Structure 1
């Protein structure tokens, strides 16, 4: 039973009538479950001031802080009886003013979400403050303000969990990206030994970051399964998901960029007020990723980014595909176009003048990032050739001179992203085991939610061992099968787990060679591995297959923890957009996405990941965004009629190309490939619209570019005065 208000003091919850509904097994509020623990927060946040005094209850105890927050839980023999029970729960809430944006929550007279505590949960910075003389002496300084709206991850499958008591153990089936994290969190919260909790992740229909946490519903389901001694299941429906699943993005940004007369960047300043949602969770740290990636692909001598993570009456903000990098890219790339217009320099030429040179890597940014490798000019050049840049520039000029033609614009966005995760998460556990029948079992701590692990990982192991792909079986997403693991997030599947499998396969080959050498009485360096078996290097009769070696020498399994370094994929997006100023509509005619994710292990998988994330970038630019009513409740009564996603009909022709700069951090050479599209596409599309309308003030175009926003921008004072 969920709150219908965004903010208020809870006076009472009465579950009496719900318990009398036929088929209802029980109904409880927080008062009925005094030993129900709060939601566990990640270890690295739990000791921080952000969390102190801001506990996230699994069921509301005294104060509702976001719409849809759970007030009571009803368990029924089936979903229908449980929902009938929920309808009979009565709650009394005294409404309080709600704040749903960082700027509203930061006002001096704003209500505090936690009495006696500031709405600012975290402050941070990257880089160092810029000396005032840099701004004073610069030939040109441009300033702008941007809003990165709150987005919904909207996976195909909503959240799911089934908790099954089995003797002294609890088995949990869930759609999740990090099974071992969920197991640890449940064990800690329920005060049970870690080996008494098993988490199994079956096929999962999408996640995009939204299924990597411990949620109130998960904790309540597991708690009640133990209390009742029987299986308990929760399957989130779509409207429920839209109301209370995690949010992405949600930043208010101001920027300042200085350059000399030739367009060489001198200084960049980025100020971020980020929407963390109602409770401090991982979302409070996300804007620090934005701050650290502020410089993008450019050599900027002086950079300073400051962050405030602000609590609001919305569901918690959490990593959503791209997680901090789309926000950084949009800020710098939109401002680069603004600078180009101010200086009268073509935006492509301006970028080329400021790219980090390909011979400067590894490159230390002023914000503390160490870019591993890159060739940013090559990616942009490929994007422009693929688009036919000069042809479209000519068409843009022709339309500008034709009063009856719809204006057309070209937008460019170059990006650098971070893949693999942050320090402390750049490792994975796994094993490779050979069997007597010649088959191989590969295990790892990841869990696929659409990244093609089932085909990619067996193929990688098969290639390393020289055996058929059909002989390799992958097991993942089961904490009993693989006792330790990290998970799937931050575009780390190929870069980290893939490198781990290559490493483990190499260890198995070495072990096989040592066993064969001992059996044959040969030095190890005289035993070779080829075609899935061991062979005497001298070409003698000694040779055996992997299966026969296991039969002769016993079980053969190697397991290890493999660690790599953070990687920095990059690329360039170019968009062509046609705008109807009278209707405010935007028609993206062409979109080129060039990505460099290092060594491509599976072209089909990478293509699908790039296309999928690009479509999500299109959604952010033109369609998606949560709107709220006057009391802070999301306007979502009609589901996806109120929150628009781009459908097949709205997707323009997308041409995906690749440059290949190997990752120097692993022998595999792969970088992350799952998030590039939603990082590069939004700024390219918005820049194309600004170019078409010749918008001098970027603040007129805030995403999503709805017809209303575009129509108003086209009629604002100064429209059409931007310099080509």
Structure 2
């Protein structure tokens, strides 16, 4: 039996539409404390005395924790992945000495209820000394985000193929442009949140986290809090959206477990929408200066791009975002000579990490504006210019000859007929008719536009994913996977995969995602990888089980 591709009612939907989903906010434990975080109102400021005398008079307040109370946990979080060019800086659980962006956590108050915790937070006085801040990555100045980096440079990388200078000089036509891309951020319906509970009798710390990467959360907890992996269980229950905003390990992901260990009671923290807008990592901000060489037929011969990337105050994900922008800048086009240089610059803004495409939307924006520029300069149709430059089916697999973002080889397009895809899209949109409508509207004084864009995206990233399948004595089949769902329907998808391999129906398969107790090793849900890598892991595990 095969179920992949069948139209099935989603397994998870009855639970969710009937209000039986279990999110972090639904988890309530006996004796649970609630945390409210004191955050910086300044983009850059030196911390003085934190006076909590008035706060402690609030009924129900249990304690206050600052950087000075962290002990061995007063270390920066690891940076994943590393890079030779990176001058990396990452969060601490709480800022010590200085806050480097509006919303950075500097202290946390714990109380018997959320109401008491928030009331107490309003009574805590922090002595701030505002400092000059860096807001624009392209405007050098004397302000330093980190004292040991006077140029505020997080990293500079050059990727190239061919002799760009010679190709530009030899090109029949040349043009240039500057492109600016503004900030954006993921806004899941469910904001971030955690519950942590330490069972002293069992010696087990259990953490429920609204996260895309529960296994990495466990790894960071073990590293910073000095716990063995078998003493920590992290569960991603129902997660109400992620989009990259829940991809990294945040300070709160370790701070709340730290509090549970410190106070010996369960602790819950739920981010409100204002906190999310202030502190959840963001993306996109880049300024590109592009120079191109091309011929009268609209063929792109050379491209040189220098861009400045705003990385915010820290680099939790290293140089991943600008590296993806640079390595994917050529898009689906053949460009004989390419040179891309970027400066990743620290600013006193919210840190930047991957969100919805992870640097690749910026690359698409740049190369597609380049194609439109060539069309304007040559007077050719925009679609025709793209057909002229697209990688051809005979070129596949096509080596872009630029290193991929992990530095583990070049970007290679494995397959595809790009011209056929564009041709079909134009036919479906009735492009010729729409183009004529736009011309007629312009003659009538109306502004009516028609956009054309192509893209190729790196997805299904590794390096691995975990899956375990168990059949109990009653014949019940349970799939444990390292890819938690945030609304993609993975319970249904992975049940289809397992059922097809095992010769049962999807209804007979239970899927549990994001529980480190059920599966020891996993990576997470991001980069359109869950079905590709997670599904393949499930298929392989199912074959092993069937073979037994």
TM-score (norm: length of structure 2): 0.88
Structure-2 residue corresponding to 1:426 = 463
**Matches of 2:459 and 2:83, distance apart in 1:** 25
Structure-2 residue corresponding to 1:312 = 347
1:163 to 184, 196, 199: 196
Structure-2 residue corresponding to 1:217 = 252
Greater alpha carbon shift after TM alignment, 125-134 vs 219-228: 125-134
Q: In the TM superposition, what is the alpha-carbon distance from 1:187 to its structure 2 partner?
A: 0.6
Say if 2:386 is the partner of 1:354.
no
Structure-1 residue corresponding to 2:8 = none
Q: In the TM superposition, what is the alpha-carbon distance from 1:71 to its structure 2 partner?
A: 1.9
1:122 to 155, 160, 164: 155
Structure-2 residue corresponding to 1:493 = 530
Q: Secondary structure at the match of 1:268?
A: strand
Greater alpha carbon shift after TM alignment, 200-209 vs 261-270: 261-270
**Matches of 1:499 and 1:508, distance apart in 2:** 14
After superposition, give the CA deviation of every residue in 1:183-209 in whole Å (9 maximum; x if it has no partner).
Answer: 000010101111111101100000001
Q: In the TM superposition, what is the alpha-carbon distance from 1:458 to its structure 2 partner?
A: 0.2
Say if 2:129 is the partner of 1:94.
yes
Structure-1 residue corresponding to 2:25 = none
Q: Secondary structure at the match of 1:82?
A: helix
8 Å Cα contact 1:276-1:317 kept in structure 2: yes
8 Å Cα contact 2:152-2:346 kept in structure 1: yes
- For residues 466 and 33 of structure 1, do their structure 2 counterparts lie closer, same or farther at Cα, with a shift above 3 Å needed? closer
**Matches of 1:20 and 1:68, distance apart in 2:** 25
Structure showing greater Rg: 1
**Matches of 2:84 and 2:418, distance apart in 1:** 40
Say if 2:431 is the partner of 1:396.
no
Q: Secondary structure at the match of 1:282?
A: coil
**Matches of 1:212 and 1:38, distance apart in 2:** 21
**Matches of 2:162 and 2:40, distance apart in 1:** 44
**Matches of 2:318 and 2:273, distance apart in 1:** 22
Q: In the TM superposition, what is the alpha-carbon distance from 1:82 to its structure 2 partner?
A: 0.4
8 Å Cα contact 1:179-1:201 kept in structure 2: yes
Q: In the TM superposition, what is the alpha-carbon distance from 1:55 to its structure 2 partner?
A: 5.0
Q: Secondary structure at the match of 1:45?
A: coil
After superposition, give the CA deviation of every residue in 1:324-353 in whole Å (9 maximum; x if it has no partner).
Answer: 110110000011101110011101001101
**Matches of 1:143 and 1:208, distance apart in 2:** 34
- For residues 120 and 356 of structure 1, do their structure 2 counterparts lie closer, same or farther at Cα, with a shift above 3 Å needed? same
**Matches of 2:350 and 2:418, distance apart in 1:** 37
8 Å Cα contact 1:187-1:193 kept in structure 2: yes
Say if 2:540 is the partner of 1:508.
no
Larger RCO (alpha carbons 8 Å, 6+ apart): 2
Structure-1 residue corresponding to 2:509 = 472
Q: In the TM superposition, what is the alpha-carbon distance from 1:364 to its structure 2 partner?
A: 0.4
**Matches of 2:223 and 2:465, distance apart in 1:** 22
- For residues 48 and 127 of structure 1, do their structure 2 counterparts lie closer, same or farther at Cα, with a shift above 3 Å needed? closer
Structure-2 residue corresponding to 1:543 = none
TM-score (norm: length of structure 1): 0.67
Q: In the TM superposition, what is the alpha-carbon distance from 1:358 to its structure 2 partner?
A: 0.9
Q: In the TM superposition, what is the alpha-carbon distance from 1:46 to its structure 2 partner?
A: 8.7
Structure-1 residue corresponding to 2:423 = 381
- For residues 376 and 232 of structure 1, do their structure 2 counterparts lie closer, same or farther at Cα, with a shift above 3 Å needed? same
**Matches of 1:15 and 1:284, distance apart in 2:** 39
After superposition, give the CA deviation of every residue in 1:404-430 in whole Å (9 maximum; x if it has no partner).
Answer: xx2211110100000022xxx331111
1:153 to 181, 186, 194: 186
8 Å Cα contact 2:59-2:116 kept in structure 1: yes
Say if 2:413 is the partner of 1:413.
no
2:169 to 126, 136, 145: 136
Say if 2:291 is the partner of 1:240.
no
1:174 to 177, 197, 209: 209
Q: In the TM superposition, what is the alpha-carbon distance from 1:48 to its structure 2 partner?
A: 6.9
RMSD between superposed Cα atoms in Å: 1.6
Q: In the TM superposition, what is the alpha-carbon distance from 1:283 to its structure 2 partner?
A: 5.1
Q: Secondary structure at the match of 2:314?
A: coil
Structure-2 residue corresponding to 1:28 = 65
